[in-house]
Structure 1
Amino acid sequence: MNIVDLDVAARQIESLIGSKIPTIVPDAIDDALGTLQWTSIPTGVEDDDAMAKLLGLYSLPPDTELVVVTDVSFKDGSGAFAMSASQFGEFQAWYSDGFSERVFSGCDVIIWAPVDRRLWIVHHEGVYTTVHLSAP
């Protein structure tokens, strides 16, 4: 896992969605892409493992590059978290140990796979969406 400067991550997601955004948050991405189809997070999805399964992150090819932005990403000395899909489970444990909270702790989480042009957004309002972006 690597930590990526948030400005670099912002340029990457802007390139992916084809639009500038003021910051990497769900509402800015929703505004840039138009109306996204949001789905309520089902009752019983209460931990990182269950949320990652719901999003389909464990079914990705192991070498898929993922970039993850959480609320922690905006703290001084932090940034976006980059890893392969096979490292996501390890990342969740590292994150919990280092920040004393879960990755999907009820805050906004934005994940994208640059090469696959896929985007997963978990909104703090208890909804999520998955977007497969077409090539530019």
Structure 2
Amino acid sequence: MDEVLEQLATAVESDDLEALVRPFLSILERVSGLESTYMTRIDTDRGIQDILFARNSGDLTVAEGLTVPWGDTLCKRALEDDVTWATDVPTRWGDSAAAGELGLVTYVNEPVTIGDDRVYGTCAARARRGCRKRPTRAA
């Protein structure tokens, strides 16, 4: 864990988005126990969401560079429903084809804002299985 914290401390001094995000994804995976963590970019004008950076450590793989229709994403549903944590994805958002195809059960969504408080994307985690413990928001 010291290595990850050192990477994060170094990344904070960087202007490179990737250098900032990758250590955070590693920490999120270790803390939550979720098998896939990633950061996206939302483009509501074009109706898409891009997976910018991803970390996959289990059977579930979310691919970097993947572009998905915004209307079918769990991110959109979670933002609209003001949900950051769900362990009942098939029941709560059973209409999401992507979630069904991936067999998602647990989903964590935390909006990332840049500049004028506009949601840039999400730093999220998804897993077929449950987590070690529910992440808490920083005060």
Bigger relative contact order, structure 1 or 2, given CA contacts below 8 A and separation 6+? Answer: 1
Greater share of strand: 2
Q: Which has the larger radius of gyration?
A: 2
TM-score (norm. length: structure 1) = 0.31
